[in-house]
A and B are shown apart, each in its own frame.
Chain A
Amino acid sequence: GAVVSQHPSWVICKSGTSVKIECRSLDFQATTMFWYRQFPKQSLMLMATSNEGSKATYEQGVEKDKFLINHASLTLSTLTVTSAHPEDSSFYICSARGQGGNSPLHFGNGTRLTVT
């Protein structure tokens, strides 16, 4: 089945630094990936749609200069949280649709970001 791998699974960084999170589709190609953020006891909130070879599409209220997305290949999308602050601490999850006409979204296991 379609597997989406996220790395790292957790990261702690200091305020003001940048953190990169990788999302890989291991056994399929994904022209589109999605990035979500989830705060404790809340649902997933879509941040942006990552498109291979073109600019990401950001949801309203998500700062594109703060959350840099790069989708340089058909199997890798990266999310960089720039100049992180404690309020950016959250659980970040990526997803990609498997190949095949009716394939559902498959999710990575998430990255817990803690900014101190």
Chain B
Amino acid sequence: LAKTTQPISMDSYEGQEVNITCSHNNIATNDYITWYQQFPSQGPRFIIQGYKTKVTNEVASLFIPADRKSSTLSLPRVSLSDTAVYYCLVGDLGDYKLSFGAGTTVTVRA
């Protein structure tokens, strides 16, 4: 399983863009990158998933460079309700026995 490294915490203000970078130097060929958001006392919620280049959905964008050794989750124009812990997971979708790293606590202030 690819080990991931994320910043422990990030602070931002409402309306700003938040970019969280995750390092996964030993990512395998079949591995996908998936990001989850977790609020206190709730299960993780799927945000976005990608394999390479750029993926965008209605809530976020995911940037993956060509070497795939890192990825960046971009949250545009955050609001107070985006305050949460964000986890980057890397793994083979066929296996999916994923390990959670420490995650990044994002705090959005008014």
- Report which A residues bind B (CB closer than 8 A): 4, 6, 32, 34, 36, 43-46, 49, 91, 93, 95, 97, 101-110, 112
Contacts and interface: CB of A to CB of B under 8 A. Distances in A.
Main secondary structure of the interface of B (DSSP, over half): loop
A44 B46 contact: no
A104 B36 CA distance: 10
Interface of B: 32, 34, 36, 41-46, 49, 87, 93, 96-103
B30 to A, nearest CB: 11
The residue among A36, A45, A104, A112 with the most chain B CB atoms within 10 A of its own CB is A104
B78 to A, nearest CB: 22
A43 B93 CA distance: 21
Given A34-B97, A105-B96, A6 B43 contact: yes
Contacts of A101: 93
22 contacts: A4-B43, A34-B96, A34-B97, A34-B98, A44-B44, A44-B87, A45-B100, A91-B41, A95-B44, A97-B96, A102-B32, A102-B93, A105-B46, A105-B96, A107-B44, A107-B46, A108-B43, A109-B43, A110-B41, A110-B42, A110-B43, A112-B41
